[in-house]
Amino acid sequence: MTDPVLDAIRRRRVVRAMTDEPVPRERVETILDAARWAPTAGNRHLQRFVATTDPGVLRVLRMVSPGMIQRPTAAITICVDRPLAQSYGFAPDARGLSVDVGTAMATMLLAAHAVDVGAGPVSSFSRAAVGVVLALPEGWSPEVIVCLGHPAPARVAPMAPTRHLGWRDLTRWVPEDPADT
């Protein structure tokens, strides 16, 4: 069976080499709009997205992000609005908050793929510095930066896979399926 959604899930790959051609603003907006539909704990939508296409901001963002191998022409930083989360009764370490960041991130990566924009998530950065660079409001914690840009012919090797994992390697049936042993 070929299904466009399953096909996109299988084909999407992290892009770590990008050209300097700007990503049109409408495509960034399409990606932001897609992320708004990602599921959130209690349907509270406690993530906040900080978008930029400004070359100066992107340059400084990269300087404080060791994990940012690519040179993006746009970036969306997914933040958690901590004071808002607290006002809804979420504990600071509530699992839902991190899961919400993940659902938004995965949705953005797939949406970017759908509109022919390369995307790569980055979690290795100085939170304090990113907060300053983006002038984040009090209590917004930056969690993941989604880099966006047009894919360049790969000059950067993808991160080495530990080994190929099929879904069976990742899955355990309960009760155990005798056909699987």
Sites of contact with ligand FMN (CB under 6 A) = 13-14, 16, 67, 69, 120-124, 159
Residue number with CB closer to ligand FMN (92 or 158): 158
Which residue has its beta carbon closest to ligand FMN? 67
The CB-of-31 to ligand FMN minimum distance in angstroms stands at: 16
Residue number with CB closer to ligand FMN (8 or 24): 8
Angle (CA) 84 48 141, round 5°: 70
The CB-of-46 to ligand FMN minimum distance in angstroms stands at: 17
The CB-of-55 to ligand FMN minimum distance in angstroms stands at: 21
The CB-of-13 to ligand FMN minimum distance in angstroms stands at: 4
Residue number with CB closer to ligand FMN (162 or 181): 162
Residue number with CB closer to ligand FMN (22 or 102): 102
Cβ neighbours of residue 88 closer than 8 Å, sequence gap 6 or more: 42, 44, 46
Residue number with CB closer to ligand FMN (16 or 27): 16
The CB-of-117 to ligand FMN minimum distance in angstroms stands at: 14
